[in-house]
Amino acid sequence: MTMKTIKWNNNFLLAGLLFLVSLFSVGGVLVSCSESEKIVTQIEEKIVYVDGKWMVVASNEVTVTTGETVTLNVTVGGDENLKPEYTCTSENPNIATVAVDADNKAVTITGVSAGNTSITIECPTDTKPLVATIPVTVEQGAIRILAIGNSFSQDAVEQYLYELGAAVGHDFIIGNMYIGGCDLDKHLANFQSDAGAYEYRKVVNGEKVGKNSYKLSQALADENWDYISLQQASGKSGKYGTYTALADLIAGIQARCPQAKLMWHQTWAYASSSTHESFPDYDSNQMTMYNAIVSAARQAMTNHTALNLLIPSGTAIQNARTSFLGDAFNRDGYHLEVTYGRYTAACTWFEMITGQNVVGNPYAPETIDPQVVKIAQNAAHYAVQKPDEVTDLVDFKQPELSDTELKAPIYIDFGPTSLSATPWNNITSHQESSTSSWIKDAENNYTNIGVRVLGGFTATHAGVGSEPASPVTVDGVEFPLTAWKDGLLVRGEKNQGDVGPGRIEISQLDAARKYNFTILAIRFNGSKDARISSYRLIGKTESEAKEVKTGIKDVASFNAANFEEYIAKFENVEPDSEGKVIVEVKGLDTGSAAEGHINALCISLVK
């Protein structure tokens, strides 16, 4: 429900009032058109003509319920037979339509939105002309946004969008009708059968609450939605031939929510290294997929004029990939990285819906580096300006570096659920990467040191969901939950021999200096002896292999654990002549499993 306050300040321009009768008033009596919104109308002044002069008389406050239509009755006193021909105009776009009913002497205003305007009423009679100007102020209440989507709408609207709005005075109410991987056909079938098939995630006052077994009919009636978005499942987003359900879905939504503006959510192309089953449909090529998505989205907008807005999240992500962050916006090859990836999409929704430039918005999660905040905001802004083409972020090709020498330790968090606090660096994919990620030190300064996965890993491990939230402190380093519960895996079959290695490259180290490396490997809800990971470092020389038994069986074992047993420490490591060190991870065949993994890595300069 949208709370709006409209004040009719009937402070007429007295010089323009030439009505030669003893009394008239322009009063505010509002007619209800909808029971879903409340508008508080205050008639602050009346104007009367007494004893040859105009006088201002105060009146009372009137409260009514209305929707998108507001009616102001105009009453003329002193001559019961006077029926002038009224005209009424407004030049302000905050009011969509202004019409007048001469018989009822009523001005009807539709499409009311936030802002200031003036309504001019004229009675062009020969003997008793009237010209009155009414200032109107509309105070915007909550902006209500409903996404009908899947995990891609989850990535875009369930986090950060509310805060972006609140930072500049907008109160967003956000709903997401979620089914993982849901396509348009399934949404239409659910709509037609009124199936309780959704998880309804709703954000109000910044708090998210979920309801299961929810119906689209329930969600559409839950709020007087200002905006409703639709989207195709990600793998089908670039195939317009799969959009056949869109027309019927739009018609059904319009019948239930005629006041809402409909939007199309343009999703993003997969990471170049993605193993998603639909990626081969686009030749496993990111730009091929991106161009197909842009084309299909534009065709949807052209063929379905009821779609009012295009949300170019896909272009925003593609813009951001031209920065020094590169192709690092996905946590698993297709879903967005949970900090700056999701923030980029939220910035796009914010600017498209509000019309306000998101660049400079004061809100950003503390876990996102200020330089990355600028990348996300600019990527979104340029996407809104040019939704169908990639804008090269030429000002963000490399980060601002603090120094060429490593001043503080480097902390790297591996795994798909990474959301570690600054200054942890997140490597979310196990896939081989072609470029190195820029790495920050513990003082949150970018360094020229890079890290990339060279290949050999078979999967990621996202944790089992029951890990204690406590951080793990080892060797003076506090590893937050997101740095120890998930990681990269090399996985094979038991009794089939050792597996791996998975290889990680650390580059741009000083070849003339020595470094200490600490690897954390820990797996909750696993038997102590079932999984053994083996590690070796290759720089100027090859280190001896070090083994870690990674399992912790339960909470009691966790509370009693000596976490020194879960690290492999390598000291005084010299990089090769190119400043590189390779970290190799193997899984040893124990007869119970053959699995090796790496959760986190710490690097420090030997002083």
462-519 pLDDT, tens digit each: 899 899 999 999 999 999 998 999 999 999 999 999 999 999 999 999 999 999 999 9
DSSP state of 436: P
Report, as an integer, the average pLDDT of 116-130: 51
The predicted structure's pLDDT at residue 87: 52
Q: Which of 17-26, 164-173, 496-505 has the lowest mean pLDDT?
A: 17-26
DSSP state of 103: T
Report, as an integer, the average pLDDT of 189-196: 98
The predicted structure's pLDDT at residue 61: 30
The predicted structure's pLDDT at residue 134: 53
Residue 232 identity: Q
The predicted structure's pLDDT at residue 101: 61
Of 121, 123, 146, nearest to 134 by C-alpha is: 121
Of 291, 283, 349, nearest to 316 by C-alpha is: 349
Question: Is 5 a residue whose pLDDT tops 80?
Answer: no
The predicted structure's pLDDT at residue 315: 98
The predicted structure's pLDDT at residue 495: 96
Give 198's contacts (C-beta < 8 A, 6+ positions apart).
177, 178, 179, 190, 213, 214, 215, 216, 219
The predicted structure's pLDDT at residue 45: 33
Give 22's contacts (C-beta < 8 A, 6+ positions apart).
49, 50, 77, 78
Report, as an integer, the average pLDDT of 564-569: 96
156 φ/ψ angles, rounded to the nearest 5 degrees = -85, -35
What angle do the packed helices 184-193 and 246-256 form, to 10 degrees?
40
Report, as an integer, the average pLDDT of 35-53: 33
Question: Is 116 a residue whose pLDDT tops 60?
Answer: no
* Distance (Å, whole) CA 420 – CA 478: 11
Please tell me which residue, 191 or 403, carries the higher pLDDT value.
Answer: 191
Report, as an integer, the average pLDDT of 344-363: 96
* Distance (Å, whole) CA 295 – CA 310: 12
The predicted structure's pLDDT at residue 439: 87
Give 258's contacts (C-beta < 8 A, 6+ positions apart).
none
Domain boundaries, the chain: 3-139, 143-396, 410-605
* Distance (Å, whole) CA 446 – CA 398: 10
Q: Which CATH number fits domain 410-605: 3.10.450, 2.60.40, 2.60.120, 3.40.50?
A: 2.60.120
* Distance (Å, whole) CA 275 – CA 280: 9
**CA 476 and chain centroid, separation:** 36
157 φ/ψ angles, rounded to the nearest 5 degrees = -120, -15
State the pLDDT confidence band at 122, using cuts at 50, 70 and 90: low
Residue 321 identity: R
Question: Is 123 a residue whose pLDDT tops 60?
Answer: no
Question: Is 19 a residue whose pLDDT tops 50?
Answer: no
> How many C-beta atoms lie closer than 10 Å to residue 513's C-beta?
15
State the pLDDT confidence band at 109, using cuts at 50, 70 and 90: low
**CA 91 and chain centroid, separation:** 35
The predicted structure's pLDDT at residue 400: 86
**Rounded to the nearest 10 degrees, how much is the dihedral formed by the CA atoms of 552, 555, 559, 560?**
-50
Give 358's contacts (C-beta < 8 A, 6+ positions apart).
164, 347, 348, 350, 351, 377, 380, 381
Q: Tell me the CATH class for 143-396.
A: alpha beta
For the chain, the average pLDDT equals: 82
